[in-house]
Copies of this chain bind each other. A is one copy, B any other.
Amino acid sequence: MRLWARTAASVTRIQTIFPEVTTDLATAAQGADLCVLCTPVSAMPALAESLAPHLSANAVVTDAGSTKANLVQTLAHLLPDRFVGSHPMAGSDRSGFDAARADLFEDAITILTPTANTSPRALEAARDLWLAVGSRTVEMSPEAHDAAVARISHLPHAAAAALVNAISPEGSRELLALAGGGYRDSTRIAASPPALWSEIFLENQSAVVAGLDDLTAALNELSGLIRAQDGPGIEAFLAKAKTTREFLR
């Protein structure tokens, strides 16, 4: 296995733990059966274009990007007959090599997004990789992926950031000093990298905006019930959420 990193500083840092790392794409790609693109989605097309001439005849390429519809179309064109999209649903609010964990993918789910044109060989190689690092896999179209992750991943990130900004618009330390586990858990992902998430929200714009509309509607429904002092109505709203959430226990 070899790693490619964009900057010499990253290479120096990574080398203290893993020696096979380079800033040179040709060196990194040489003889590889499988390449995984792990940059922000916006950087992937240029990276794929630079990578293409250095790939072995049978090399397969996949990625770890958070949005798929636009990206898969672009990369399938740049890497014909050897690309399939992947999205491992794992990670945290931290980024960079220092956030790496050996068990990151254990019990996680990875979404593979083959299309009618995807080579079965590419799909199989990518699936084998994600299974080998401990995740389960599901397959869906790039468009179905984007609609699903808008709900299950992008909307919670947007909500966490809005919640933090609504609670303490001046970043009141007095108020934050009172925070218990509820605040901590429900806002943890508000500490995620802003540039990465701005890009994800724009890449998946219409589905994220639709999700935000639904969330605002749900909040208005709850607020209306509280204003009306409708105890049974509030309880039914909360019981519905509890029942849904408990599917995950």
Chain B: minimal CB distance from A194 (Å) = 4
Chain B: minimal CB distance from A66 (Å) = 11
Known: A180-B90, A218-B162, A241-B164. A231 touches B198 (CB 8 A): yes
**A179 at interface (Cβ–Cβ under 8 A)?**
yes
* A186 close to B183 (CB less than 8 A): no
Name the prevailing secondary structure of the A interface residues: helix
Chain B: minimal CB distance from A15 (Å) = 28
* A171 close to B247 (CB less than 8 A): yes
Known: A156-B182, A176-B244. 15 other contacts (CB 8 A): A89-B180, A148-B175, A152-B176, A153-B180, A153-B183, A158-B222, A161-B238, A166-B218, A171-B247, A176-B248, A186-B187, A188-B245, A190-B241, A205-B227, A209-B227
In the docked arrangement, what's the CA distance between A243 and B164, Å?
Answer: 10
* A189 close to B178 (CB less than 8 A): no
Identify which of A153, A173, A215 gathers the most chain B CB atoms within 10 Å of its CB.
A215
In the docked arrangement, what's the CA distance between A238 and B152, Å?
Answer: 18
Number of copies: 2
* B248 close to A179 (CB less than 8 A): yes
Contacts of A38 in B (CB 8 A): none
Interface size on A, residues (CB 8 A): 92
Residues of A within 8 A of B (CB): 89-92, 108-109, 111, 138, 148-149, 151-153, 155-169, 171, 173, 175-195, 197-199, 201-202, 205, 208-209, 211-223, 226-227, 229, 231, 234-249
